[in-house]
Amino acid sequence: MFAASVEEGGLGLSPRSIGLVLGLQGIVAGSIPIFSFAPVHKRFGTKKTFAFGMAGYILLFLSLPVMNVLARHDMRNAMWFVVGLHLLLSCTAFMSFSCVAVLITSSAPSRSSLGTLNGVSQTTISAIRAIGPATATSLFAFSMEKNVLGGWFVYAVLIGVNLVGLVATTWLKDEKRAH
């Protein structure tokens, strides 16, 4: 997305700009949750925080085509503003990862099954992390090459998957709160 030309649905950024954006995202997404996850989780609980994170992903995916539209109209300052919002949105979205760890741990039927459960979950996560980027990149290329939904098909799929995940959060049990 960042490296692809504007005409191909990307932003046409230089390698230096891409490195800057990804470096900032690493700093922002790595440091802000350190201070914000615990208070948010304490106040709203795992289920609501997870749902909030999933909703954050929807906004994150919506911001990508918005950036391209702004770049197409040569509105670079507005595009960079949305890139900044994208970085901040990643913080809320990434909170869902912490919630997944809490949900997996709390779903163990016994203490003795925790190791097996964590092993299976880490294996599954690793497989998804191997398949996910290639799938998303292929969908991006397919969307642009075949002009499916005006080139926005990839975002419809990503948002659709997140909507399914968001609906699935309604099936999670509410936690018993101590306070």
pLDDT in tens, 129-162: 999 999 999 999 999 999 999 999 999 999 999 9
Tally of CB atoms within 10 A around 156: 15
Residue whose tokens read 């932003």: 11
pLDDT in tens, 161-173: 999 999 999 998 8
Give me the helices (H) in 11-113, please: 15-72, 76-106
pLDDT in tens, 101-130: 888 888 888 888 888 998 999 999 999 999
Long-range residue pairs from 158-162, CB within 8 A, at least 24 positions apart, any chain? 158/57, 158/61, 159/58, 159/61, 159/62, 162/54, 162/57, 162/58, 162/61
pLDDT in tens, 23-78: 998 898 888 878 889 999 999 999 999 999 999 999 999 999 999 999 999 999 99
So where are the chain's domains?
A: 6-171
Predicted local confidence at residue 90, as pLDDT: 87
Predicted local confidence at residue 160, as pLDDT: 96
